Amino acid sequence: MERFFFYVFASEIRCPLLSFINKGQRSSNSLPLWLHFHRIVFKVDLSENMSLEVELQKRKTFGIVSHPDAGKTTLTEKLLLFGGAIQEAGAVKSNKIKKHATSDFMEIEKQRGISVATSVMAFEYRDKQINILDTPGHKDFAEDTYRTLTAVDSVIVVIDVAKGVEEQTEKLVKVSRMRNTPVIVFINKLDREGKEAFDLLDEIETQLDLKVTPLSWPVGMGQRFKGVYSLYENNLILFSAHGKQRDEEVIKINDLEDPVLEKNVGKMEAEELRHDIHMITSVYPEFSRDAYLNGEICPVFFGSAVNNFGVRELLDCFVDIAPNPLPRETEERWVQPDESKFTGFVFKIHANMDPKHRDRIAFLRICSGIFERNTNYYHVRQKKNLKFSNPTAFMASKKSVIDVAFPGDIIGLYDSGNFKIGDSLTEGEVLKFKGIPSFSPEQFRFVNNTDPMKTKQLNKGLDQLMDEGVAQLFTKEDNGRKIVGTVGALQFDVIQYRLKHEYGASCDYEPVNLYKACWVDSNNAAAMKEFIQRRKRDLARDTDDKLVFLAESAWTLKMAQENHPEIKFYFTSEF
Give the DSSP letter string of 429-441: ----B--------
Query: Range(s) for CATH 3.40.50.300 in the chain?
Result: 56-321, 328-426
Angle between helices 72-82 and 311-321 (to 10 degrees): 80
Position 136 scores a pLDDT of 60
Strands 443-449 and 507-511: antiparallel
Q: Cβ(272)–Cβ(336) under 8 Å?
A: no
Residue ranges in 353-489 assigned as alpha helix (H) = 455-467
**Hey, how many other C-beta atoms are within 10 angstroms of the C-beta on 4?**
14
Q: From 448, 420, 445, select the one nearest 505 (Cα to Cα).
A: 448
Backbone angles phi, psi at 540, to 5 degrees: -150, 170
Q: Cβ(346)–Cβ(363) under 8 Å?
A: yes
3-state secondary structure of 136: coil
Which helix (H) or strand (E) segment holds residue 48: the answer is helix 46-58
Q: Cβ(305)–Cβ(78) under 8 Å?
A: yes
Q: Cβ(251)–Cβ(235) under 8 Å?
A: yes
Position 6 scores a pLDDT of 41
56-321: CATH superfamily: P-loop containing nucleotide triphosphate hydrolases (3.40.50.300)
Position 203 scores a pLDDT of 92
Length of the chain: 575
Q: Cβ(235)–Cβ(253) under 8 Å?
A: yes
Residue ranges in 179-303 assigned as alpha helix (H) = 197-208, 259-265, 267-283, 289-293
C-alpha 148/C-alpha 175 separation (Å) is 11
Which helix (H) or strand (E) segment holds residue 147: the answer is helix 142-148
pLDDT in tens, the chain (575 residues): 444 444 443 333 334 333 333 334 333 333 333 333 333 333 344 445 558 888 999 999 998 888 777 787 888 888 888 776 554 444 333 333 333 444 443 454 444 443 334 467 888 888 899 988 876 644 444 566 677 788 899 999 999 999 998 887 887 788 777 778 899 999 999 888 989 999 999 999 999 888 999 999 988 888 888 888 888 888 888 877 654 544 556 777 777 787 888 888 888 888 888 899 899 989 999 999 999 999 899 999 998 888 888 888 899 999 999 999 999 999 899 999 999 999 999 988 876 655 555 567 888 999 999 999 999 999 999 999 999 998 888 654 456 788 999 999 999 898 877 888 888 999 999 999 886 756 667 789 999 999 989 989 888 888 878 777 768 889 998 888 999 988 767 778 888 888 888 888 888 999 988 998 888 999 999 999 999 999 989 999 988 788 999 999 999 999 999 999 999 998 766 55
Position 214 scores a pLDDT of 94
C-alpha 311/C-alpha 292 separation (Å) is 19
Strands 516-521 and 472-476: unpaired
Query: Range(s) for CATH 3.30.70.3280 in the chain?
Result: 443-570
> Alpha carbon of 348 to those of 119, 138, 357, 485, 575: distances in Å?
10, 17, 19, 18, 20
Position 357 scores a pLDDT of 52
Position 267 scores a pLDDT of 86
Residue type at 155? V
Tell me how many helices (H) and strands (E) the chain has: 15, 33
Q: Cβ(363)–Cβ(350) under 8 Å?
A: yes
Q: What is the DSSP string of 509-570?
A: EEE---SEEEEEE-S-HHHHHHHHHHTGGGEEE-TT--EEEEESSHHHHHHHHHH-TTSEEE
Q: Cβ(178)–Cβ(155) under 8 Å?
A: no
Which helix (H) or strand (E) segment holds residue 148: the answer is helix 142-148
Residue 518 CB-half CA count within 13 A: 19
Q: Own/partner pairs for 491-497, CB < 8 Å, 24+ apart?
A: 491/140, 491/141, 492/443, 492/445, 493/108, 494/108, 494/116, 494/470, 495/462, 495/465, 495/470, 495/471, 497/107, 497/108
Domain 328-426 has CATH 3.40.50.300: yes
Position 398 scores a pLDDT of 58
Q: Cβ(205)–Cβ(212) under 8 Å?
A: yes
* CATH dotted code for 443-570: 3.30.70.3280
**Hey, how many other C-beta atoms are within 10 angstroms of the C-beta on 541?**
15
Q: Cβ(260)–Cβ(270) under 8 Å?
A: no
Q: From 280, 270, 163, 272, select the one nearest 216 (Cα to Cα).
A: 280
C-alpha 428/C-alpha 226 separation (Å) is 58
3-state secondary structure of 449: strand
Q: Cβ(376)–Cβ(387) under 8 Å?
A: yes
Q: From 338, 349, 411, select the one nearest 122 (Cα to Cα).
A: 411
Which sign does the torsion angle of CA 90, 91, 92, 97 carry?
A: negative
Q: What is the DSSP string of 279-330?
A: HHHHHSPPP-HHHHHTTS-EEEEE-BGGGTBSHHHHHHHHHHHS--SPPEEB
3-state secondary structure of 133: strand
Which helix (H) or strand (E) segment holds residue 153: the answer is none
- For residue 272, the Cα-to-chain-centroid distance in whole angstroms is 39
